[in-house]
A and B are shown apart, each in its own frame.
Chain A
Amino acid sequence: MDTLNILLMGFISIVLINNLVFTKFLGICPYLGVSGRIDMAFGMGMAVTFVVTLSGTLTWLIDHLILMGTPLEVTRYVCFILVIAGAVQLVEMYVRKFFPSLYESFGIFLPLITTNCAILGLCLFINLWEIDNLLEAVVLSFGAGIGFTMAICIMAGIRENLNLADVPECLKGAPITLITAGLLTLAFMGFAGMIR
């Protein structure tokens, strides 16, 4: 029961309180690029969740089973990025072959995701926070993906309405999106201190 409690708290914390986009500045590039429409945003979010859960788990396993404590530890970054790139490649091939309908909805984003800071960033944060059991790593990775999806869908909803609003010419596009993101960050700060 206690483990479940810790996992639940960890999940909530990474979705709301330590949200990757709003507090750790990860995943901004696709965030700005893809949040134009809600359906595209949701597709991107799902793709990111899928990949990040897989990568988070794999990199944790590799880190703990092979790298830690050995002289190979210095090649950590190289290993992480290669594992992520490989995982994305495999996932794309697999999804394209066996779930063509799923591929239609989010497959196009998959190659873009490899250079998404969120994936490598999450793997590095899991390493930084010294998470020492596998289940917690899986839950945190999944939560990070869900947090990203939530952030991007909120932004897409707001942007769809912003298209109809009277935005000054020089602020159209990226600037107003960033300012909106800033206000969203401020709103999410209210969640801090929710868990003790």
Chain B
Amino acid sequence: MSKIKHFLEQSWLLIISAFCFGLLIAVTNAAWSPRIQQNEKGKLNNLMTGLITEAKNFQITIEDVEVLGKKGKITKTDIYQALDDSGSSAGFAFVATGAGFADKIKLVIAVDAKCEKFLGFKVLSSNETPGFGDRIKEDYFGDQFKKAPAGELQLVKTGNPETIDSEIVAISGATVSSEAVVKIFNTYIDKVKEQLQAKELKTNGQ
């Protein structure tokens, strides 16, 4: 009994303050967590709206699409459908991840409503070399993907970046990063197309 008393005597302040601090954190979290979740959702929405400009809101059409990446690693992503004012489909968007030069690259890729052309991509997160690999965020590179056919893309070192076809001209000095982006597109597009067509077939069949 005296041992417990001694223990309490020594650490009563610790116990009480732990309790108070815990309470403080819980209250703050409860107050702000709806805002935090809204921010996280809003970020993806903002990027997708930037790609599909007519879209008014997004909803998840197909969840947990499994994509087989390199070395057999399976990553899951959700396909969002963009709806415009009249409620008809304005396109689809999904988050795609892949290995870049330095670290993982996360992209938001958008395709049009018929899944025939890419509408472009935006970088969600990347850790590429500033001044070199970082330039995948620039328009010079990104614009080549807009209206490109939604299929297998090929990276070339020289060519005309203005012509929109399935050839993408790499950024000089950043071949690996450019290649990484093209690889991400190629890895995901087959599966996404397959899933979207399956879903469309389903709704058409009804």
**Interface on A for B, CB 8 Å cutoff?**
2, 5-6, 17-18, 71, 74-75, 78, 192-193, 196
7 contacts between A and B (CB under 8 A): A2-B71, A2-B72, A71-B29, A74-B25, A74-B33, A75-B22, A75-B25
Q: Is the interface of B mostly helix, strand, loop or mixed?
A: helix
We find that the number of chain B residues with CB closer than 8 angstroms to chain A is 14
Q: What is the minimal beta-carbon distance from A159 to any residue of chain B, in angstroms?
A: 29
**Interface on B for A, CB 8 Å cutoff?**
21-22, 25-26, 29, 33, 71-72, 99, 101-103, 129, 176
Q: What is the minimal beta-carbon distance from A144 to any residue of chain B, in angstroms?
A: 16
Task: Check B29 against A74 for contact (C-beta < 8 Å).
Answer: yes
**Which of the residues A74, A193, A196 comes within 8 Å of B26, measured between beta carbons?**
A74
Q: Give the residues in chain B near A18, CB-CB below 8 Å.
A: 103
- A17 and chain B: residue at smallest CB distance: B102
Task: Check A192 against B26 for contact (C-beta < 8 Å).
Answer: no
CA distance A17 to B101 in the complex (A): 11
- A77 and chain B: residue at smallest CB distance: B25
Interface centre among A5, A6, A74 (most CB of B within 10 A): A74
CA distance A126 to B25 in the complex (A): 23
Q: Give the residues in chain B near A78, CB-CB below 8 Å.
A: 21, 25
- A5 and chain B: residue at smallest CB distance: B71
- A193 and chain B: residue at smallest CB distance: B101
